[in-house]
Chains A and B, each alone.
Chain A
Amino acid sequence: MRQSLLAALLLSASALIALPAAAADLRIGLQEDPDVLDPDQSRTFVGRIVYASLCDKLVDITPDLEIVPMLATAWSWSEDGTVLTMDLRDGVTFHDGTAFDAEAVKVNIERSKGLPESRRKSEVQSIESVEVTGPMQVKITLAQPDATLLAQLADRAGMMVSPTAASAAGADFGSNPVCSGPFAFKERVQQDRIVLTRFADYWNADAIHFDSVTFLPIPDTTVRLANLRSGDLDMLERLAATDAASVKEDTGLVYADAVSLGYQGITINVDNGERGNNPFGNDPRLRQAFELTLDRDAINQVVFEGVFAPGNQPFPPTSPWYDKETPIPARDIAKAKELMKEAGHETFELEVQVANNPVQTQLMQVVQSMAAEAGFVVKLKSMEFASLLADQTAGNYQASQVGWSGRTDPDGNIHQFMTCKGGINDSKYCNPEVDALLDKARTSNDIATRKASYDAARKILAKDLPIIYLYHQTWIWALDGKVEGFVPYPDGMIRLQNVKFKS
């Protein structure tokens, strides 16, 4: 008896001594379960949050969206903007020990372009060939100038996977991803957890202060927050706007936010099949009148507790690409009525489809009551998202409340929606003038030229209104008070460099 007591004492004593050196595990609550963990095949926002710890990219962004070195240390463009030469970081290895070099970059870009399952094809479309010009230098040749390419390489298209692992696993790479990021893949239980462990040979190891990271998908926002409060989580992403105030008041928690790169708005069927042929799709005056009924600030206050950012453009007002000359119009019911009269309508009946979740429904109910004051009878068609998407693509809708998660380069937020042949142009809006301006902005590497083109296009689009933008979501993180060093980024990612537990 005495012996066992002694043993127990010793055990607990050694446990106490071991405590300070105990493995530092960071537990992060995610809103969804990520899809397949292959940067070339994945398609969800939440998957990218995991990649931020798992897979390093050729370049990264700053919170102000400037492109900065990561695995590429320097780069330069040829005079005509069709050749990008990149110098690569020395001494980087993948989690499986394979060395990172120019050959690996070539394999990776060719995989993004050539893997049948690749979802990156459109992002690296402009790349014609990759040439290894030195052990640590690649020359990327483009079919035509592409100002968006660097921003693409700052995301999934620029994530470098181990060529050895990729060729061994093929399309099944996602079940055991091997990259070169600060943490290596350990295990995944579908819909339960993803565990990464510290990669000892990480090139920037000094900036990493955790032994492991565990991602836990917890879809319910209330439960996610409860887990943080009970200490089961160290941080969570996408806190509900309605919980922002209570987290700010809680002295044990830390609140962080950043206006996202994406937007939410109402896409209008302008010319997508027969249903686009209606007064709302045909007469921009009706759409302008509709926009004038909206008080975007009030919407933000009522539905989102003032946490999100009201907006009228594909870029948030905080973005350097925001056109200050077409600011958010003030609400003006008299003018809205006047425009409706000009278009020949006292009242107008409009059907808007909306995803059947409480937040979007509440949003549209506020819009509905605002528009009613000018004579718009808005009928809300609540739909499950997959059906909504199918109807919208097929043109079987009059107006649709949807959004876009946002891209680092402005092109990603506007070109594919507003050009005649744009891949996601569900309005089927087509204006050659806008096409020319947006194409020009895409091919120039000069920021001033690009900004001028976007501004010019915005002036036209603000009148034509194929999409009525409503607001920009704000990414909100809640962290345990013991976590320090976290920097919010507008892309919503969680970068763990220099994040640590307070000692």
Chain B
Amino acid sequence: MLTFIARRLLIAIPTLLLVSVFVFTLQKLLPGDPALVLAGEERDPEVLAFIREKYRLNDPIFYQYAYWLGGLVQGDLGVSLRTNQPVLQLILDKLPVTIQLAVMAMIIAMVIGIPAGILSAVKKGSPVDYIANFVALSGLSIPNFWLGIMLILLVSVELGWLPASGYASPFEDPARSFQTMIMPAFVLGTALAATLMRHTRSAMLGVLKADYVRTARAKGLGERVVILKHAFRNALLPIVTLGALLFGELLAGAVLTEQIFTIPGFGKLIVDAVFTRDYAVVQGVVLCTAAGFILMNLIADVLYFLLNPRMRATL
């Protein structure tokens, strides 16, 4: 098991390197000059020259990359061109915000999506199934930003129950943190719940047809035990993979949701960075996100082992 994890982590290094080369080249292909954006409206030639010099924008791209990589090996991700803050600092500031949002959204998604999926599979063809499917489809098709704005107008402006937007750290003010996060988490969560519900449903349908489920029923086990202990545990594998990937996606930044609810997270960070051609920040965030995805994949694999005794035997 440990060797498996170690091997996977080692394979991650070349992957990350490849990602960084990719992002670096793609960024340089983007039209637009960071110095022009940063120099201000007046675009004073002296200022332009200073910026290009300071951030090595005049050096050949290969040197720029080598320089960046050199810093990375020493744990230095460079400084933001826009704010002069260390990129690592920015990432460490924003990551907890996004993780909090992602965890809350994931919980909401699982609480809604998985039971709904099981229910609609078990009651396939019944009104419950149709209603669940309809709700899931709506969840998938309603754009996040629209739902977000509607919720703000209803819950904050009309009813005055929750703050319309903003952010508070859970360590400073847990109550306010929860109040500001619950709406965006709900918006994200419902969309994910829809995906989770659909996948749970199809996985359950497949499993419910299996022989061992029939055997379990024939043994005279109660329906609840059959569904939850025998069917659902086996249907769980693809759901875990999906959940982990969805979570990785959430970490990559729920760009629109963060924008609407003005949450200072990863999504806002990268969008602003791309628009101002803040190369160092884009580079750092993408690398971090890629690492996050690899990690989530690994976690999914480890969960497989825990959930499926047969796979444990192969080790």
Pair B262/A117 contact, Cβ less than 8 Å: no
Query: Does B290 sit within 8 A of A, measured CB to CB?
Result: no
Complex CA–CA separation, A389 to B41 (angstroms): 10
Chain A residues 329-378 with CB under 8 Å of chain B are none
A227 beta carbon closer than 8 Å to chain B = yes
Which residue of the partner chain B has the closest CB to A218?
Answer: B262
B39, B84, B160, B166: which contacts A119 (Cβ < 8 A)?
B39
Known interface pairs A43-B38, A192-B167; A423-B269 also in contact (CB < 8 Å): no
With A232-B164, A387-B31 in contact, do A226 and B157 touch (Cβ < 8 Å)?
Answer: yes
A103 at the interface (CB under 8 A from B): no
A226 to B261 Cα, complex, angstroms: 11
Contact B165 A190 (CB under 8 A): no
Evaluate contact between A190 and B85: CB separation under 8 angstroms: yes
Q: Which of B34, B43, B46 contacts A424 (CB 8 A)?
A: B43
B262 touches A219 (CB 8 A): yes
Asked if A219 and B45 make an inter-chain contact with CB atoms under 8 angstroms apart, the answer reads no
Known: A384-B275, A389-B33. 11 other contacts (CB 8 A): A121-B47, A191-B269, A218-B165, A218-B262, A220-B262, A227-B164, A230-B164, A390-B32, A390-B36, A423-B43, A424-B43
Complex CA distance for A171 and B84, rounded to whole angstroms: 10
| Interface presence of A189 (CB below 8 A) | yes
CB pair B42 A386 closer than 8 Å: no
Size of B's binding interface in residues, CB under 8 A: 46
Contacts known (A218-B165, A223-B262, A423-B45); A190 close to B31, Cβ less than 8 A: no
A219 to B256 Cα, complex, angstroms? 12
- Partner-contacting stretch, out of B129-137, B148-156, B198-206: B148-156
Asked if A229 is at the interface of the complex by the 8 Å CB criterion, the answer is yes
CB within 8 A of A416: which of B39, B42, B82, B153?
B42
Please list the residues of chain B having a beta carbon within 8 angstroms of any beta carbon in chain A. Answer: 30-34, 36-47, 50, 82-85, 90, 93, 149, 152-153, 156-157, 160, 163-167, 259-262, 264, 268-269, 272, 275-277
Determine if A404 is an interface residue (Cβ-Cβ < 8 Å): yes
Question: CB-CB < 8 A to A218: which residues of B?
Answer: 165, 262
Q: Does A231 contact B (CB under 8 A)?
A: yes
> Taking the nearest CB of chain B, how far is it from the CB of A42, in angstroms?
8
**Is there contact, CB below 8 Å, between B264 and A230?**
no
The secondary-structure label for the interface of chain B is: loop
What is the CB-to-nearest-CB distance from A426 to chain B, in angstroms, rounded to a whole number? 9
Give the shortest distance, in Å, between A456 (CB) and chain B (any CB): 25
Set B46, B83, B93, B166: member contacting A35, Cβ < 8 A: B83
CB-nearest residue of chain A relative to B44? A122
Residue numbers in A under 8 Å from B45 (CB-CB):
423
13 CB contacts below 8 A, A to B, read A44-B40, A117-B50, A119-B40, A123-B42, A216-B262, A218-B262, A227-B165, A384-B32, A385-B275, A389-B37, A393-B43, A423-B43, A424-B42
Shortest CB-to-CB span from B153 to chain A, Å, is: 6
Instruction: Give A159 to B92 CA distance when docked, in angstroms.
Output: 33
Tell me the bound Cα distance from A201 to B146 in angstroms.
Answer: 47
Which B residues are in CB contact (< 8 Å) with A117?
A: 50
Supposing A192-B264, A223-B260 touch, asked if A391 and B43 sit within 8 A by C-beta, the answer is: no
When the two chains form their complex, are residues A393 and B44 in contact, meaning their CB atoms are under 8 A apart?
no
A433 within 8 A of partner (CB): no
- Give the docked Cα–Cα distance between A122 and B47 (Å): 9
B84–A174 CB distance below 8 A: yes
Q: How far is the CB of A27 from chain B (nearest CB, A)?
A: 10
Cβ contacts under 8 Å, A119 to chain B: 39-40, 42, 44, 47
Q: How far is the CA of A491 from the CA of B264 in the complex (A)?
A: 28
A223:B269 contact, CB within 8 angstroms: no
Complex-state Cα separation, A230 to B153, whole angstroms: 9
CB distance from A316 to the nearest CB of B (A): 18
Closest chain B residue to A172, Cβ basis: B84
For the complex, is A319 an interface residue (Cβ under 8 Å from B)? no
Q: Which residues of A contact B37 (CB under 8 A)?
A: 386, 389
How many angstroms between the C-alpha atoms of A395 and B152 in the bound complex? 44
Q: With a CB–CB cut-off of 8 A, which chain A residues contact B33?
A: 386, 389-390, 393
